[in-house]
Structure 1
Amino acid sequence: SIRFINNIESNNQTGGSKLLLLGLTEDPELQPFIFSLFLIMYLVTVLGNLLIILAVSSDSKLHTPMYFFLCNLSFTDICLSTTTIPKMLVNIQTRNQSITYIGCLHQIFFVLIFGAFENFLLVAMAYDRYVAICHPLRYTIIMNPCFCGLLLLLSFCISVMPALLHSLMVLHLSFCTELRIPQFFCELPQVLKVVCSSARINNILIYFTNCTLGGVSFSGVIFSYTRIVSAVLRMPSSGGKYKAVSTCGSHLSVVSLFYGTGFGVYFSSAFTLSPKKTALASVMYMVLPQMMNPFIYSLRNRDMKVSFRKLIGRIPSF
């Protein structure tokens, strides 16, 4: 990796070692507001997802496959937010927009990993709900701890491969003198726009991996919920239908938020040439879903509400 890093630094036409993250706006009067807003969102994201992890870990009734995947989803949300937001806050506070090449490469790598991992976790959770509703008698046999762990490990390994591939491909590129990235983090497509060498292969790989991995995962979610809807419609009692739908409500809301914001950003970047609008749209999928997930699961899930009350009740009052 040292050889690759030396290669990119030697190919850099500016002779420097930093890129500039322009953020959401260059207006100095808006910087304190943006700093406060993103700091609050980051703290809410971290604390909310930590509460979910603590609540599930401390309540034996929640030691099930569904909440096992939920804990990993919360951990991934924390990691994804931590990869981008703290650097943005530091830049605003120090009034320094720069980020090193190594720091930029780290952001690209970890954003791709945790973004893809969250995607596959949602697929695993959809499959878990499919088995629970369509094959309830075989649920504990199919969703055994060994299978859940294997599913988690496979999801992580698949997430690492494209992230590593894209990061290594960036290391071979040479950068131009204009190293201004109109984004609050090192987003791969935006980084490729400031390179001098040909990035055609990189762009092809982006479209290929997005279409392949995104298409397969989204198809898995659609397949699971198609079978779930079919099974629910065949249920004779309205009580059974309500119970089945209620167990999927939180996950379906999270899936809608994740894919909805992702598709929204994709189409907005495809039809707008404004870098600022693209940066604002990126907030919708890099910040909003990770912050909202704890609220969705705590407000729509009765078991989580009970576990939260138990957890808060254990906190000693002074």
Structure 2
Amino acid sequence: MDDATFFSQAIGQYDEKLKAINQKVAAAFYPYTIAPYLTELGFNEIKAHDNITSMLKELGYSVTTGAYGVPTAFSAEYGSGGRLVVYNAEYDALPDIGHACGHNLIATASIASFLGLAAAIKENNIPGRVRLLGTPAEEGGGGKLKLIDAGAYKDVDACMMVHPSTRDPSHGLVGSAYSTTLANHKINTYADTRPNKPICYQYAQAMESLKYPVTCDFKHIDNAPGSTDMGNVTYECPGFHGWYGISDTAFNHTPQFTQAAATKEAHDITILTAKAMAIVGWKILTDDEIADSVRKDFEEDKILREKPRGVVSVGGAC
């Protein structure tokens, strides 16, 4: 059985549970003006945290709630020995417009990848570990910075996540939309994102095997819209922050994107990206040559950085 088939089946068996958790995270939001104490903003993602961790526990995984000293963070891990692959789940909402940056989809993708890779480790009885990190407060709170300081990304061989956007996130119109819509949100200062090229190439190959070809665009990385604390993670370990489209017309941080992120179409493409991330994770755990290339690219990038922990200051987060 090839990897595309295996992970499609491994993740597919959780289809109904993944749909349910996506809907629960998306619904864990109240208009701030109506019930500010219930709004699932940064570091207050209580329902999202509890729903996700409950699901994982029901599936038999050991879960640390309130992980790394952050009340709404969590950590789940499977396997032993070998290399370590991490997937980041985000789930904080935006004031008044909910999941207008699709964090319900980000969480769903990383949960699915974790479940798929855990299934592969179990079935093949290989050394290797997969960790799912619940990372709160990306929208202005810098939740991953707290996790970094607590050692969550120490000795990690690869950390991955994907982010929904319009169909073509590199298009100039997207940049214009971000500059206007994000201006209403808190300005953040996060490190620039350092994409690991071998991981990117492996992801593109995985998507190709799933009959959904994508491109690796390193030319426009400096002009990518928004900012993210995943950038800081890529200074700690080899990282991947992929973009994928869920709408032709809706832009992030708008009510229209909140609606787009709640559709079946958005969920389905999200699951496809999760399968690709699981395939890449498997390659890193089992293929020494690929794992070495990932580490080599990370070490070489350290030399290329003009300023350690250089920052990108923009009007908002992604």
Fold-level match, TM-score > 0.5?
Answer: no
Indicate the structure with greater helix content: 1
Indicate the structure with greater strand content: 2
Compare CA radii of gyration and give the structure with the larger one: 1
Instruction: Give me the TM-score of the superposition, normalised by structure 1.
Output: 0.30
